[in-house]
Copies of this chain bind each other. A is one copy, B any other.
Amino acid sequence: MRDIVIIGHKAKTDGDFSLNDLPGSAGRMDILCRCVSSALFLSFGMRRDVNVHLLLLGEPDPGKIIRFEGLHLRYLNPDERSSGSLIQKALKKDATEQDIRSTPGIWIRRGDLSFLLSKFEGRTLFYLREDGEDIRAIANEIRDPVFFLGDHVGVTEEEEEQLLKAGAKIISVGPLSLHSNHCITLVHNELDRAEAQRGESPGEIERWIEN
């Protein structure tokens, strides 16, 4: 399983935004939409072994988490508007301290970074930062990882402190500072290559589901 967390500091926390203006009215929701797509899509289907967790910290009701489960997802297309509309639908639910299902494979709840870190206790945590250790040097040893990425403003000092305290290792995907969705594509590629080298088939679950 690969879990990917993206922190959206400005991302709106109610469904009151226009799908025609995801960058503006929705608080750079376009970034999170592209992350969903990069995290979940293969050429011919979904990465069934991936979960995406969007941590939404914008107004008017900061501290919501939307979870996309690759294994159960339906109705998602790769374009930004498609994930944007599923996010909007989830935000129209009354979020509580319990998971509420919005559409197949999409769940919403209240929560913050601490909640996610306690949820992932025992997993191997990676915090993506430009000056981290090169993921390529360690990709072969990575099993069952959780990756944390920032949005256009990165990760705050306080968040970084929490991540490091929880034992997250800082890794880099390359020499330039990139958009979060591009980083996700690069992380997947390193793990795909490592799995292929070990003779594991990342598509296995997918085929199993569809047969």
Contact = CB atoms under 8 A, between A and B. Distances in A.
Nearest to A180: B43
A77 B23 contact: yes
Contacts of A193: 174-175
Contacts of A38: 182
Interface in A173-191: 173-179, 182, 185-186, 189
A203 interface: yes
A19 B37 CA distance: 19
Contacts of A176: 42-43, 192, 202-203
A34 B78 CA distance: 10
A189 to B, nearest CB: 5
Q: How many copies does the complex hold?
A: 2
Contacts of A30: 78-80
A56 interface: no
Interface residues of A, number: 37
Contact of A182 (B19, B23, B31, B185): B185
A189 B192 contact: no
A20 B19 contact: yes
B80 A42 contact: no
A11 interface: no
Nearest to A178: B43
Interface of A: 19-20, 22-23, 30-31, 34, 37-38, 41-44, 77-82, 152, 173-179, 182, 185-186, 189, 192-193, 195-196, 202-203
Per CB-CB distance, the 4 closest pairs between chain A and chain B, nearest first, are A43-B177, A175-B196, A30-B79, A185-B185
